[in-house]
Structure 1
Amino acid sequence: MDFVALETFKLVMDLGSVTAAAERLHTVQPNVTARLRKLEAELGVILFNRAHRRLTPTDKAQELLVHANEILLRVDVARQAVAGQGLGDVRMGFVSTQASKWLPAFIRDYRAAHPEAEIIVDTAATETLVREVQESRMDAAMVVEGHAGQGSGPALTATRLFSEKLVILAPPGTHSPEQAFSYPLMVLRQEQKGYRNFAHDLFQAMGREPPKLMKISTLEGVIACIRAGLGYSVLPRSVIAARHLEGALSILEPEVADIGIHLALVHRPELDRDPRMALLKRIFTGS
């Protein structure tokens, strides 16, 4: 089997178009199309229905993708093994609000297991991280479970790591949630869909109308505004603990139960048996 054609097929399936695959491969669209036709001829099946200059994957394409993922992973592992390097290299993403808590432990423990590994880390909103993993630009990511974006694109393997309670972070001297709600609600701009949803859930559970939002691009900006008495936010408790904000700002428990978030590790299904994923789960769960 032509592995170049198989890799091209997988890229088209992952990215959803010949154009995107050609851009990623730094080639022209006719070359990508030719590789797909070569693979179809070799296998004796139709992988894509072609109509109105669009490719629609057939059931055979979906079936082949499952096998292609495993084949190409094994080929990649074999290449790295023969080269004697890169077996532990990892591209890892963290949802922005969790990076400061988990990044030091991740790098320390991962390098202890793979001292020569190249580690690439990025932080972003969950929706962005999910897309990066789906499109093979990241190997795995810690994301907020159930966040927008996880229901679209290729399916990912998701393992729940832990749950966190949400608390209200308010200006100094704020003594109750009701008092905090007199301020504007501030959210991270890049996480506004996720954290707006959590704040919305909180207000809905309390029987209140959700307020309008103030959207700020960084968590540090949100905290600075709260410190200045300009607003409040709803955040995971670990975010507050990691920044040692106890005593500096008011931390209030919502007067409702079961308001929290779940953090999950997501990766592509072909990495289910990859030892790096098992190591990541041990690092984040301690087991």
Structure 2
Amino acid sequence: MDLICLRSFREVAACGSITKAAERLGYAQSSVTAQLQKLEETYGAELLERRGRRMELTTAGERLLVYAKEMLRLHAESLEAVGAAQGGSLTIGSIESLASYFLPPHLQAFREMRPAASLSLLPGNEPELLRGVKSGTLDAALILDPPLRDPELDVHPLRREPLLLVCRPSHRLATEKAVAATELDGETLVLTENGCSYRAALLRRLREIGAEARIACELGSIEAIKRCVRQGLGVSLLPSIAVRQEVEEGKLAAVLLEEPTFDFQIQLIHLPKRRSSPAFASFLASFGVQDRADPPEQAPKA
């Protein structure tokens, strides 16, 4: 059985869309369609059907999904078990801002502890990362959210991360030290895409106070957002870590958004019952976190 086909099938089932599944997997849409057709030919049954705008599982598809998840889980577990002598393998998820501006030094520390280990980094928004960790697709994930309380997960708060209103240095708010959300009434916004936790918090707060702000554009790239703000398309809300360099260089201005409910933390999440491994213990240790199931071992010398 082709595991690539099963992985694509699982993603389409989760997304309800071939297009979205292809984007998440990094495949062409036509490739995912062909993989689904191959599965249907193998099983001799229709696995998915379109209902409105969504792709939904048929009865046969629901049965296969159970086996597909288990086969993919066993495959990942076998890779880790067989590769343990070589250092192990991990699949980690992260939102874009943390992957770009927070994670690199920790990856370097992990590499120094486990030079032979293999690590794959998958981007996603918070809902996608939560699903990935809970399904076992991801060994762990980094999120930026208010303190998360989820009985299904181990949550390790790493640090608080201020959210900053980012604008051009010539903007009317650029000289302020801190502002409330009411100051955004009438402003034009350049926002992150749907699924971003701090985007959702900002829009929710604006609705609560009755402030009217126009969304100029929604982008999935932090770098693209910063460039749009520099061009004067609007203001944005971004984590401090993502704009530090531009603020220091005077290319952007950043003002603290003071809102009582905007307590956002960088958090590392994983399943409590996840099977421990030396590689996973070392990954946690790179953030100063100890594996609750199995304290990190001394890494073998390269």
Contact 2:107 2:286 in 1 (8 A): no
CA distance in 2, matches of 1:196, 1:94: 16
Does residue 228 of structure 1 match 2:231?
Answer: yes
**1:155/1:255 CA distance change after superposition, 3 Å:** closer
- TM-superposed deviation, 1:268: 2.8
CA distance in 2, matches of 1:227, 1:73: 43
Residue-pair matches, total? 240
CA distance in 2, matches of 1:208, 1:116: 54
- Which residue of the partner structure matches residue 250 of structure 1? 253
CA distance in 1, matches of 2:201, 2:256: 14
Q: Which amino acid aligns with 2:94?
A: F
- Which residue of the partner structure matches residue 187 of structure 1? 191
* 1:161 counterpart SS class: strand
* 2:108 counterpart SS class: helix
Describe how 1:1-287 pairs up with structure 2 within 5 A: 28=42, 79-81=82-84, 84-85=85-86, 87-145=87-145, 155-174=152-171, 175=173, 176=176, 177=179, 181-189=185-193, 191-203=194-206, 207-209=209-211, 211-213=213-215, 214-241=217-244, 243-246=245-248, 247-271=250-274, 273-285=276-288
Contact 1:163 1:260 in 2 (8 A): yes
- TM-superposed deviation, 1:273: 4.1
* 1:173 counterpart SS class: coil
Q: Which amino acid aligns with 1:279?
A: S
**1:267/1:55 CA distance change after superposition, 3 Å:** same
Q: Which amino acid aligns with 1:187?
A: L
* 1:244 counterpart SS class: helix
**1:29/1:228 CA distance change after superposition, 3 Å:** same
When structure 1 is superposed on structure 2, of 246-255 and 170-179 the one drifting more is: 170-179
TM-score by length of 2: 0.60
Instruction: Name the structure with the higher helix share.
Output: 1
Deviations 1:24-63 (A, max 9, x none): xx79559xxxxxxxxxxxxxxxxxxxxx76879xxxx9xx
- TM-superposed deviation, 1:232: 0.5
Q: Which runs of 5+ in 1 are unaligned?
A: 1-10, 31-51
Q: Which runs of 5+ in 2 are unaligned?
A: 1-6, 14-34, 45-58, 291-302
CA distance in 1, matches of 2:167, 2:238: 11
- TM-superposed deviation, 1:198: 2.1
Contact 1:271 1:277 in 2 (8 A): no
When structure 1 is superposed on structure 2, of 268-277 and 258-267 the one drifting more is: 268-277
Q: Which amino acid aligns with 1:184?
A: T
Deviations 1:211-270 (A, max 9, x none): 3422123111111111111100111111112x4333221211224345231222122333
Cα RMSD of the aligned pairs, angstroms, is 4.5
* 1:90 counterpart SS class: strand
* 2:128 counterpart SS class: helix
- TM-superposed deviation, 1:209: 2.6
Deviations 1:5-29 (A, max 9, x none): xxxxxx9xx99x8xxxx97xx7955
CA distance in 1, matches of 2:253, 2:185: 13
Contact 2:165 2:237 in 1 (8 A): yes
Bigger radius of gyration: 1
Deviations 1:173-224 (A, max 9, x none): 22355766543111122x554232121354367x343534221231111111
TM-score by length of 1: 0.63
- Which residue of the partner structure matches residue 54 of structure 2? none
CA distance in 2, matches of 1:225, 1:88: 41
CA distance in 1, matches of 2:185, 2:289: 37
* 2:161 counterpart SS class: strand
**1:165/1:204 CA distance change after superposition, 3 Å:** farther
Contact 1:157 1:272 in 2 (8 A): no
**1:147/1:236 CA distance change after superposition, 3 Å:** same
Q: Which amino acid aligns with 2:187?
A: Y
